[in-house]
Amino acid sequence: MKKFSALVIVLCMVFTLCACGSSQSRKADDGITIGVVYKQSGNAYFQAGITGFQKAADELGFTFMHDGPDDSSNDGQERIIRNYIDQGVDVLCISANDAAGLVDVCSEARKAGILVLSWDAKVDPSGRDIDIEPASAKVIGLTQLEFIAEQMGYEGQLAIVSAGATAPNQNLWISFIEEALKTDSKYANIDYVGVAYGDDDYTKSYDVMKALIDKYPDLKGVIVPTTNGAPAVAKCIIDEGKDATLKMTGLTLAHDMAEYIHGGVAPATFLWNPIELGYVSSYVAVAAKKGDFKFEAGQTIEVPGFEGLTVEVSDDGGLILYLNKLNKFDDTTVDAWIDAL
């Protein structure tokens, strides 16, 4: 009796669980299925990317699933990728938490005949077919530097508040910024104080910015190349009463930063359009799956609204496709973007 009642309860429990889930299940049809994997669930930036995939799906008629790990971990992404392989997706679009860490599972997927695209954050060349990036790292880094330098009048102290110390994209951009600061005579009067890491976390970025202000009270400019850190830094500058002398820029969403951009603490910020990134990624995925697009340098692809998308060989030896479009959010343009980004 005891055991029976236990079993009944377990049964009820499991059935309720499944009932919750069945509404979410997606049926597989004959068309192309794309599995989109991003860095972390509950991240507004990737929501925008998914919007792009959705837009392309409506036009091209493929189905797609999307998920990211709860904890932005490498093995969480591996888990999701394996699930997608089992579900029989045709193409994987991955924004990797760790370029090197996913090589094995991606190679397995390719062996199973799945095309592996990385978008937004690359997978190392041995694990991917192609990487799709908004703009070259150099352009992204130097655009921010040039803007903030102009705001600072090409002199004074400059700092960077980055995401995690392990973030590959940010580290690449920062390396170009640092190189330019060292070599370009235009920036000779800028006193670069270094990088602080906010771990892509609001609280930590805020605290780290506060510490920076305490240590360098004469700070004139901050670059924040991460969407989660930027509003924290802006808020901190205002809270510390430095917004008259200290300006910031960075890569941000419009929605997060609109008030700060209007308020003047961040005269302008930049971002590519993650919607477009998702949109182009899906076009590439579908074209490649249908055989209209081959993975080799010099190939071009037609995407509505884009011109001259050409595959190049990137610095790491793999193939890469740049959108080369960077949006600037300033006092006049930001409001147009609020609902989208």
Q: What is the footprint of another protein within residues 179-198 (CB under 8 A)? A: 194, 196-197
Of residues 17 and 336, the one with the C-beta less far from another protein: 17
Burial of 297 (0-12, 13-18, 19+ CB in 10 A): exposed
Q: Indicate which single residue of 63, 67, 143, 184 sits in contact with another protein (rule: CB under 8 A).
A: 67
Give the span between the Cα atoms of 173 and 105, in whole angstroms.
Answer: 27
Of residues 211 and 297, the one with the C-beta less far from another protein: 211
Q: Considering only residues 79-98, where is the footprint of another protein by CB under 8 A? A: 79-80, 82-83, 86-88, 98
Q: How many CA atoms lie within 13 A of 152 on its CB side?
A: 29
Q: Indicate which single residue of 56, 92, 94, 99 sits in contact with another protein (rule: CB under 8 A).
A: 99
Q: Quickly tell me which residue has 């694990």 as its tokens.
A: 127
Of residues 9 and 313, the one with the C-beta less far from another protein: 9
Of residues 101 and 267, the one with the C-beta less far from another protein: 101
| 289: its two tokens | 């799956």
CB of 195 to another protein, least distance (A): 8
Question: Are 129 and 319 contacting, i.e. CB atoms less than 8 angstroms apart?
Answer: yes
Of residues 192 and 306, the one with the C-beta less far from another protein: 192
Q: Indicate which single residue of 65, 180, 287, 303 sits in contact with another protein (rule: CB under 8 A).
A: 65
**Angle separating helix axes 254-263 and 229-239, nearest 10 degrees:** 30
Number of helical (H) and strand (E) elements in the chain, helices listed first: 11, 14
Q: Considering only residues 265-284, where is the footprint of another protein by CB under 8 A? A: none
Q: Indicate which single residue of 110, 138, 242, 255 sits in contact with another protein (rule: CB under 8 A).
A: 255
Cross-strand partners of 243: none
CB of 12 to another protein, least distance (A): 10
Give the span between the Cα atoms of 341 and 334, in whole angstroms.
Answer: 10
Give the span between the Cα atoms of 43 and 309, in whole angstroms.
Answer: 28
Stretch near another protein under the rule CB under 8 A, chosen from 133-141, 162-170, 284-292, 319-327:
162-170
Of residues 126 and 324, the one with the C-beta less far from another protein: 126
CB of 124 to another protein, least distance (A): 8
Q: What are phi and psi of 184, to 5 degrees?
A: -80, 125
Of residues 9 and 297, the one with the C-beta less far from another protein: 9
Stretch near another protein under the rule CB under 8 A, chosen from 19-27, 113-121, 176-184, 302-310:
19-27
Q: Indicate which single residue of 55, 138, 235, 325 sits in contact with another protein (rule: CB under 8 A).
A: 235
* Helix/strand/coil percentages in the chain, nearest 5: 45, 20, 35
How many residues bind another protein (CB under 8 A)? The answer is 86
Q: Indicate which single residue of 63, 138, 146, 202 sits in contact with another protein (rule: CB under 8 A).
A: 202
Residues 6+ apart with CB under 8 A from 305: 276
CB of 338 to another protein, least distance (A): 7
Q: Is 317 in the site for another protein (CB under 8 A)?
A: no
Q: Is 112 in the site for another protein (CB under 8 A)?
A: no
DSSP string, 291-312: TSS-SSTT-EE--TT---EEEE
Give the span between the Cα atoms of 255 and 238, in whole angstroms.
Answer: 18
Beta-strand relationship, 300-301 and 268-271:
unpaired
Q: Is 70 in the site for another protein (CB under 8 A)?
A: yes
Q: Is 264 in the site for another protein (CB under 8 A)?
A: no
